[in-house]
Amino acid sequence: MHSRLFVAAFVTGLTAVVASQDQAPSFLGSSSELVVLPVMVLDKRGGGFVSALDRDRFTVYDNGRRQDVLLFTSEDTPVTIGLVIDNSGSMRPKMPEVIAGTLALARSSRPDDEVFTVAFNDAVVEAGSHQSVTAGDSEPLESTLRSMAPQGRTALYDALLVSLDRVEHHTQARKALVVISDGGDNASRATLNEVLARARRSNVVIFTIGLFDEEDPDRNPGVLKSLAESTGGTRFLPRSPGLLLQACTRIARELRSGYTIGFVPPDRDGAFHRIRVDVQSGNGGKFSVRTRPGYFAASTLPPRP
């Protein structure tokens, strides 16, 4: 999917937000040309979220070239959250804490967020496919989670491709996947490279939560790290139920605490463009910033038949 396709839906969803912040909306007529980025700003000392920063603190570089920021907002907007849950046999003893953590995440979200579930073992099951579950009514979500019966092997990569397709068809402009797994895969047809390529072409942030024992032969925390870093998300490796709850609560806070910025891509070459966002602190230093590492530019060449 080219960048101009996914940003069109994103910017359309943000029109009201931009107008409410007295931003000039003239760029919205050409919104399909914008590259839109979710940006997290963190205090380097404590790692806390930094909010209420002005637009002039932000500088965006595309392949090393500074770009004009045309879209800027810190407004809290609704999000679609896909819960991608490992339902293989190795997860059986961990399911009570998985249920508690995911419910905590949903209950920390906005009432107008959308939450759906995709479970996977040997195959992928879109457990919430009957409807979107809003965080304001978590009973259907809890019922779905408690109906899971861990067994079989692990088709993580297949589940991620299904989840990326599904989340992009939901209505909210902001989109995220929360993956709970040991990171291993022994049953997918898809490969990790296919998943990473698909994720880099999407506007979806992936958060990963690694649950495994040190003697677990299928654990692969490196995969979980790659998925998160490739999309501007975060990997968590909680070692206790309490830390899992903290991770889920932090993800919910992060989805509420970020900035959204957009710029017109300087080239239409169909290539991958690397992005850097710098944010100045008040004392002349820089904050720690997390966003997507880059995007695929649209091409001026017509598509092949």
Q: Has residue 110 got a pLDDT over 70? A: yes
The per-residue pLDDT for 270 is 86
Q: Has residue 133 got a pLDDT over 70? A: no
Task: Give the pLDDT mean for 220-248.
Answer: 95
Under the banding of pLDDT at 50, 70 and 90, the label for residue 303 is: low
Three-state SS for 36? strand
The per-residue pLDDT for 5 is 38
Measured at the CA of 235, the angle between CA 218 and CA 280, to 5 degrees, comes to 160
Q: Angle 156-167/192-200 helices, nearest 10 degrees?
A: 20
What share of the chain has pLDDT > 90, as a percent?
Answer: 50
CATH architecture of the region 3-74+259-296: Sandwich (2.60)
Under the banding of pLDDT at 50, 70 and 90, the label for residue 203 is: confident
Q: What CA–CA distance (Å, rounded) separates 132 from 221? A: 30
The per-residue pLDDT for 8 is 41
More confident site: 251 or 5 = 251
Q: Could you tell me which CATH number the domain at 90-257 has?
A: 3.40.50.410
Tokens of 118: 């995709």
The per-residue pLDDT for 218 is 83
Q: Has residue 18 got a pLDDT over 60? A: no
The per-residue pLDDT for 127 is 64
Number of C-beta neighbours around residue 38 at 10 A = 24
More confident site: 213 or 186 = 186
Three-state SS for 54? coil
The per-residue pLDDT for 13 is 43
More confident site: 104 or 158 = 158
More confident site: 111 or 289 = 289
Per-residue pLDDT of 37-48, as tens digits, reads 889 999 877 678
**C-alpha to C-alpha distances, 298 to 256, 260, 301, nearest whole angstrom:** 29, 20, 9
Which residue has 């022994």 as its token pair? 186
Q: What CA–CA distance (Å, rounded) separates 194 from 301? A: 24
Three-state SS for 249? helix
Task: Give the pLDDT mean for 217-233.
Answer: 94
Contact 158, 192 (CB under 8 A): no
More confident site: 117 or 8 = 117
Per-residue pLDDT of 115-129, as tens digits, reads 889 999 999 987 654
Number of C-beta neighbours around residue 280 at 10 A = 15
Per DSSP, what are the bridge partners of residue 62? 65, 275
Per-residue pLDDT of 156-171, as tens digits, reads 999 999 999 999 888 7
Q: What distance separates the 2 farthest-apart alpha carbons in the chain?
A: 57
Instruction: Report the b/e string of 204-239 with b at 16+ CB within 10 A.
Output: bbbbbbbbbeeeeebbbeebbbbbbbbbbbbbbbbe
Domain boundaries in the chain? Answer: 3-74+259-296, 90-257
Mean pLDDT is lowest, of 6-10, 228-232, 260-264, for 6-10
Contact 267, 273 (CB under 8 A): yes
Per-residue pLDDT of 50-68, as tens digits, reads 988 999 999 999 999 999 9
